[in-house]
Amino acid sequence: MTRNYAVPLDAVDRVELTTAGATVTKRIVADDPYIEGHYPGFPIYPGVFTVETVYQASRGLVESRREPGTRVTLAEVRSVRFKAPLRPGDELTAECELRDDPDDISRVLVVAECRRKDGATVAKVTLDLRVHEAGDHA
Amino acid sequence: MLEYAYLTRVLPHRHPILQVDRVLEYTPNQRIVAVKAVTGTEPCFAGLADGLPHSSFAYPSSLLVESLGQAGAALWVLSARDGGTVLDGTLMFGAARGFEFHGSAYPGDVLRHEVVVESLKENSAVMRGETRVDGRLIAVVASMLAIARPEAAVAGSVNP
C-alpha cells in the first residue's frame, strides 16, 4: 500500500466515527516498524507512536471533511501524559474528540483518551492541528 | 564529541529508532547539543506514492519528538553516570507539554537539538529544548518528562 505522506508506521487499524470524533484502534505487533530497536528483546510501543495513532486518525478525518486537496499538519502537541506502556499483543483504543476552533478555521483541537484492552489508561493526548487549504504547501 | 557507537552505550534505543547520531556539546546536569541527520533511506520514507509534493516528505513530527526526547535522555543518563550513579529501570517518555512545530525537516537536513535541564532526580528528569535546521527553528518544547520505570512493572502490562 502506498502512502501520501511520511509516517514511521501505519498507526491506525480501524476508525469508527462518533458524535465527538472517532474511536480509533491499533493492535500492537512485535514486527511494527521501528519496534525492533525499542527495545531489543523487550519490545514496547513507543509513546510517540500513540501520538502518531491519534494524529493519523484525526488528520484523515479532517482531510476527508474539508475541501479536496486540504492537508493537515501537526501544529503543537499541547500536552501528552503517558500512564501505562503498550506491548505486543496489547490493543490501543483512542477515544478522539475533535473541536473546530470557532475563531480560526485553520485550527482543530484534538483531545484523546487512550486505553488498553484491559481498560488501563495508556495516555492522554491533546493536539493542535493546522489545516492547509489546497495548493498551500507551507 | 560523542559518536554514535558511544551513544549505543548510553541509550537503550537501537536501530532504526535510535534517532540521535552524535553529541556535539555536553555539560553535566545542564545542557546537551546533539544532531540527527535525516535521510530519504529511513523507514519512514518507505512506500510513498510517486508524484507527491515536497511537503509529503517532511520528517514525521512523532519521530522529531522522539529524537529531541532521546537527546534529553542522553543528557540525563550521561549526567547520572558522571555523578557516579546508574539509572535503575527502563527509560520511558513520561510526558510533554507545549511541543510546538514551527517548520519541517526534509531528507538532507540535519536536526540540531539543544536540551536544557529543569530538574534531575533519581527516577525522573524534566527538560526543555528546541530543534533547528541550519539555524531555522523547527520545534520548541516547553517541558518534557523522562522517567525510569522498574522493568517488572513494564513487563507486567501484557494482556494474556
Establish if B26 touches chain A: CB-CB under 8 angstroms: no
Range of the domain at B124: 4-155
Higher model confidence: residue B11 or residue B89?
A: B11
Establish if A119 touches chain B: CB-CB under 8 angstroms: no
* Out of A77, A117, A120, closest to residue B96 by CB: A77
Q: pLDDT (tens digit, 9 = 90+) per residue, B13-41?
A: 999 999 999 999 999 999 999 999 999 99
- pLDDT score for B31: 98
Q: Is the predicted pLDDT of residue B158 greater than 70, yes or no?
A: no
Specify which residues B2 forms β-bridges with: B23
Mind telling me the catalytic residues of A? 38
The β-bridge relationship of strands B31-37 and B22-27 is antiparallel
At A48, is the secondary structure helix, strand, or coil?
helix
In this structure, the number of other CB atoms found within 10 A of the CB of residue B67 comes to: 26
Establish if B99 touches chain A: CB-CB under 8 angstroms: yes
CB A94 within 8 A of CB A113: yes
- At A134, the pLDDT band (50, 70, 90 cuts) reads confident
Q: pLDDT (tens digit, 9 = 90+) per residue, A47-88?
A: 999 999 999 999 999 999 999 999 999 999 999 999 999 999
ipTM value > 0.90: yes
- pLDDT score for A138: 60
Q: Is B16 within a domain?
A: yes
CA distance A4 to chain B (A): 6
| Contact between chains at B48 and A47 (C-beta distance less than 8 A) | no
Q: pLDDT (tens digit, 9 = 90+) per residue, A31-51?
A: 999 999 999 999 999 999 999
Specify which residues A126 forms β-bridges with: A79, A111
Average pLDDT, chain A: 95
Q: For chain A, which residues make up each domain, given as ranges?
A: 14-132
Nearest residue in chain A measured CA to CA from B67: A48
- pLDDT score for A2: 83
Establish if A33 touches chain B: CB-CB under 8 angstroms: yes
* Out of B45, B96, B97, closest to residue A6 by CB: B45
Q: pLDDT (tens digit, 9 = 90+) per residue, B87-131?
A: 888 889 999 999 999 999 999 999 999 999 999 998 999 999 999
A contact test, residue of B61, B64, B102, B131 with most A CBs within 10 A: B61
Task: Give the CATH number, domain containing residue B11.
Answer: 3.10.129.10
- pLDDT score for B94: 96
Q: pLDDT (tens digit, 9 = 90+) per residue, B55-95?
A: 999 999 999 999 999 999 999 999 999 999 888 888 899 99
Q: Is the predicted pLDDT of residue B156 greater than 60, yes or no?
A: no
Q: Is B160 within a domain?
A: no
Supply B48's cell numbers.
Answer: 510513498
Q: With helix as H, strand as E and coil as C, how does chain B read?
A: CECHHHHCCCCCCCCCCCCCCEEEEEECCCEEEEEEECCCCCHHHCCECCCCCHHHHCCCHHHHHHHHHHHHHHHHHHHHHHCCCCCCCEEEEEEEEEEEECCCCCCCCEEEEEEEEEEECCCEEEEEEEEEECCEEEEEEEEEEEEEECHHHHHCCCCC
Among A58, A67, A63, which Cα is nearest to A18's? Answer: A58
Task: In whole angstroms, give the CA distance from residue A92 to residue A116.
Answer: 5
* Out of B59, B99, B158, closest to residue A87 by CB: B158
Domain count for chain B, please give it: 1
CATH T-level assignment (fold) for domain A14-132: Thiol Ester Dehydrase; Chain A (3.10.129)
Q: Is the predicted pLDDT of residue B160 greater than 50, yes or no?
A: no
- pLDDT score for B159: 37
